[in-house]
Amino acid sequence: MTTQQLCEQIQIKKSFLCVGLDVDLNKIPQHLLELEDPIFEFNKAIIDATHDLTVAYKPNIAFFEAYGLKGWTSLQKTIEYINEKYPEIYTIADAKRGDIGNTSSMYAKAFFEDLNFDSVTVAPYMGKDSVEPFLAFENKHTIMLALTSNEGAFDFQTLEVNGKELYKQVLETSKTWKNSENLMYVVGATKAEYFTEVRKIVPDSFLLVPGVGAQGGSLSEVCKYGMNDNVGLLINSSRAILYASNGTDFADAARAEALKMQQEMEEVLKA
Amino acid sequence: MTTQQLCEQIQIKKSFLCVGLDVDLNKIPQHLLELEDPIFEFNKAIIDATHDLTVAYKPNIAFFEAYGLKGWTSLQKTIEYINEKYPEIYTIADAKRGDIGNTSSMYAKAFFEDLNFDSVTVAPYMGKDSVEPFLAFENKHTIMLALTSNEGAFDFQTLEVNGKELYKQVLETSKTWKNSENLMYVVGATKAEYFTEVRKIVPDSFLLVPGVGAQGGSLSEVCKYGMNDNVGLLINSSRAILYASNGTDFADAARAEALKMQQEMEEVLKA
């Protein structure tokens, strides 16, 4: 999917919500565990209940890999289901990959070709040649960690290098890489005041924003400091939507949560 | 496997060689492609031909994920084969993972429990709470990127923070984390002179060293600056061994390459 198509979907749906699919078998409704593929069945129900309110789904790859071959099968079925039934939806493989060039190429092949995701998240620590193999894919986005939403973000990301914080250096350096127009960035919602700084360096880029909801970030604050003319934000919510109920009404409860967020977004877009 | 057991294996085998399993279907002998699981068959032949010369195998997870479900099956068969037939071998999942705490826990479960690897490589960018879930596993090691062997290592890892290079800060900070005795570090062989600096900060830790061979690093230089009383090094070689021949003699050719490295290591251990 192109950036342009993503922007159109945001305008059509009046939403820039991304639903994270972090499916933990210990948290999903117990009646699903009797089915052959509980993770896929759970995802399918969530997707069917929320697809008109969200522009993106973000399967968290760890939550599939933890279940081995069965998990990888669930992942494959989930992405195929979205791509076939809701091709207008933008898909993000939340994988945080990154390795030397020939290895990053294999990860890119895994997520862009084999699974056919629109985008994948990557880590910056290994630098240019660990990210450029992802950027080489046309009409695919590479979403690089800049400033994350967890406590450990302050261990290294905010240390000062060259007179600025490391995450700013990461943003600046990445703009010099080949096909950098295919980059988006992860910026955590738990630090809304940082969005002003981020926007000085990457005014036009899309930002994937975790940390609203369960992790404590505020949607209105993020929009205030982070939005650009194209909206330029994908706000992720995972647990607040997925586990709104753990009864047989879980899909309806998820829809109600997603609707609340979409309506809040519609208000922001009007203003 | 405990660190002590790994040290014993190094003494018994007079080797601190790790063979990286980066299996590219475009590079393996063509006659294997007719078999049902060429990746596993290739790995099995390489492992049978080199197991007495090496103390560790390091499957590169990207090269399995790129082939989807089939690849994940090959990975599972490969690790099971090593664990059953050669339980004295140390195993490393080269995965470069790292995410917020609950997600890192799932990756740890994937590699330590589901696949039963002895260790996994992780990236440091997200800090403490992205690594500690891995460190919580007893008798498992977490191998964190410090200074990598690729060109992009100089983009961020060697920038100065707090008056020292970032990779040094990463080493120092990580020593304060819970269960940090379970840490090892990736330090690339292409920069042998850096080992002196690394050893000032982590004198006792094991270092996993990529970059000897195809990437240009020198074994003797790395040993000169990086070895400690426990040896403290695992020197990885992937392509130079795996693709020593692409004919039907590939396993014999791989053994010959591994033997050359093991003999060089034996000389170093004598001195």
**Cβ of A99 and B96 within 8 Å?**
yes
Q: If phi over 0 gives left and psi between -120 and 50 gives alpha, with beta otherwise, what is residue B252?
A: alpha
Q: Which two tokens stand for residue B114?
A: 């589901």
**Cβ of A69 and B68 within 8 Å?**
no
Q: Å from A11 to nearest chain B CA?
A: 31
Q: Where do the domains of chain B lie? A: 3-270
Residues B38-65 pLDDT 10s: 999 999 999 999 999 999 999 999 999 9
Partners of A162 on chain B (C-beta within 8 Å) are 159-160
Give the percent of chain B with pLDDT over 90. Answer: 94
CB atoms closer than 10 angstroms to residue B246: 15
In a mutagenesis test of the B interface, which of A75, A151, A155 is the best target, namely the one with the most B β-carbons within 10 Å?
A: A155
Q: Which two tokens stand for residue A90?
A: 């933008």
Residue B245's contacts (CB-CB under 8 Å, 6 or more residues apart) are B29, B252, B253, B254
Residue A252's contacts (CB-CB under 8 Å, 6 or more residues apart) are A49, A245
> Is there a contact between B75 and B115 (Cβ–Cβ < 8 Å)?
yes
Task: Please list, residue by residue across A74-113, b when 16 or more beta carbons sit within 10 angstroms of its beta carbon and e when fewer do.
Answer: bbbbbbebbeeeeeebbbbbbbbbbbbbbbbbbbbbbbbe
> Is there a contact between A194 and A154 (Cβ–Cβ < 8 Å)?
no
Rounding to the nearest 10 degrees, give the CA dihedral for residues A208, A212, A216, A217: 60
Partners of B161 on chain A (C-beta within 8 Å) are 156, 159-161, 166
> Quick one: pLDDT at residue A211?
84
Partners of A99 on chain B (C-beta within 8 Å) are 60, 62, 94, 96
Q: Where are the alpha helices (DSSP H) in B51-139?
A: 62-65, 68-85, 101-108, 128-135
Q: Closest by alpha carbon to A198, among A227, A178, A229, A220?
A: A227
CATH architecture classification, B3-270 = Alpha-Beta Barrel (3.20)
Identify which of A63, A96, A151 has the shortest CB distance to residue B98: A96
Residues B112-142 pLDDT 10s: 999 999 999 999 999 999 999 999 999 999 9
CB atoms closer than 10 angstroms to residue A237: 27
Collapsed DSSP state (helix, strand, coil) of residue A46: helix
* Strand (E) or helix (H) holding A141: strand A141-147
Rounding to the nearest 10 degrees, give the CA dihedral for residues B130, B131, B137, B139: 170
Collapsed DSSP state (helix, strand, coil) of residue B96: strand
**Cβ of B150 and A130 within 8 Å?**
yes
Identify which of A63, A109, A130 has the shortest CB distance to residue B66: A109
CB atoms closer than 10 angstroms to residue B228: 14
Q: Which two tokens stand for residue A226?
A: 């982070």
Residues B61-103 pLDDT 10s: 999 999 999 999 999 999 999 999 999 999 999 999 999 999 9
Collapsed DSSP state (helix, strand, coil) of residue B125: coil
Residue A239's contacts (CB-CB under 8 Å, 6 or more residues apart) are A22, A213, A214
Residues B190-230 pLDDT 10s: 878 899 999 999 999 999 999 887 677 889 999 999 999 99
What is the Cβ-side half-sphere exposure of residue A39, based on CA atoms within 13 angstroms? 27
Cα–Cα distance measured from residue B64 to residue B194, given in angstroms and rounded to the nearest whole number: 32
Partners of B155 on chain A (C-beta within 8 Å) are 124, 127-128, 173
From first to last of its 271 residues, chain A has per-residue pLDDT tens of: 999 999 999 999 999 999 999 999 999 999 999 999 999 999 999 999 999 999 999 999 999 999 999 999 999 999 999 999 999 999 999 999 999 999 999 999 999 999 999 999 999 999 999 999 999 999 999 999 999 989 999 999 999 998 999 999 999 999 999 999 999 999 998 878 899 999 999 999 999 999 887 677 889 999 999 999 999 999 999 999 999 999 999 999 999 999 999 999 999 999 8
Angle between helix A38-50 and A250-270 (nearest 10): 40
